[in-house]
Amino acid sequence: MNEGVRSRRALWGWLLALSTACLLLGGFLYKVASAWTLLLIPVALGGVVLFALASAKLRPGSSGVFLVALFAGILVVGASVFTAHSVWLSAVGEQRQCELTEREYKDPKRANRTLYEHTLTCGDLKPQWDVPQNLAIKTGPRTMVVDSANVVQAASPEEVSAGRNWGFAALALLGSVYVLLVVLLPVRRQPAERGAQ
C-alpha cells in the first residue's frame, strides 16, 4: 500500500471515529437544558452522513456499505437518545424532592385549545424538565434526579437506570469495535479481468 493510500485511509479512519463520537453525543444533546439542544440536528445528521461516507470510503469494494452504515448510524443516534441522559445523571445527578406546578392558559393561535406551563422547583434549583405543553399532568411533590449544574434536564428516577447505562456502554463499545474492524481489516481487491492482460 503506497503512502498516499495509507494517509487517506488514516484520515477516513479518524473521520469514522469522530462521526461515531458525534452519533453518541447526539443522544446527550437531546436532553441538554439550554439552547445547545439546537446542535442536535447538525451534529446527529452530520455524524450519520460522515459515518456512512467514511465507512464506504474505507470499504470501497463492498456493495451497499453506505446504505447499511447510514441505517446503523440512525439506529445509534436513536438508541443514544434513550441512554446518554441516564449516564450523565448517574454520574453527576442527585435525587431531590421537587415540587411541580402548572399554569393553564389559552393557546394564542387557537382559542379553543388549552396549554399548560409546568415549573419544577427542587429547593433552590429550578431544573428544566420538558413536558408537552398540551398535557395536564399531576402536580405536587415528586422525586426527581437533577443535575445541580443544570447542564441536562431533570428526569424521573425510573429514567436513570443501570440498564440504560449498560445500553450506552454497549453502544460505545460496538461503535469502537466497528471503527477498529473497518479500519484494520484488509480491503478486498476486485479481481482483474483475464482478458485485460
Is residue 168 within 8 Å of 87, Cβ to Cβ? yes
Segment of 124-133, 141-150, 185-194 carrying the highest mean pLDDT: 141-150
What pLDDT sits at residue 143? 93
Same domain for 173 and 115: no
Strands (E) located in the chain: 93-106, 114-121, 140-147
Same domain for 124 and 48: no
Same domain for 67 and 136: no
The number of distinct structural domains making up the chain is: 2
Question: Does residue 187 carry a pLDDT above 80?
Answer: no
What pLDDT sits at residue 17? 93
Same domain for 9 and 86: yes
Domain limits for position 27? 3-91+160-190
Question: Does residue 65 carry a pLDDT above 60?
Answer: yes
Residue carrying the nine cell digits 424532592: 97
Give the C-alpha distances (Å, rounded to integers) separating 163 from 16, 78, 159: 27, 16, 10
Question: Does the residue 52 lie in any domain?
Answer: yes
Residue 97, C-alpha cell as written in the block: 424532592
Average pLDDT (96-124) is 84
Same domain for 75 and 117: no
Is residue 85 within 8 Å of 30, Cβ to Cβ? yes
Same domain for 82 and 7: yes
Dihedral pair phi/psi, residue 148, rounded to 5°: -65, -25
| Average model confidence (pLDDT) across the chain | 86
Ranking 1-10, 55-64, 88-97, 158-167 by mean pLDDT, the lowest is 1-10
Per-residue pLDDT tens over the stretch 140-170: 999 999 998 888 889 999 999 999 999 999 9
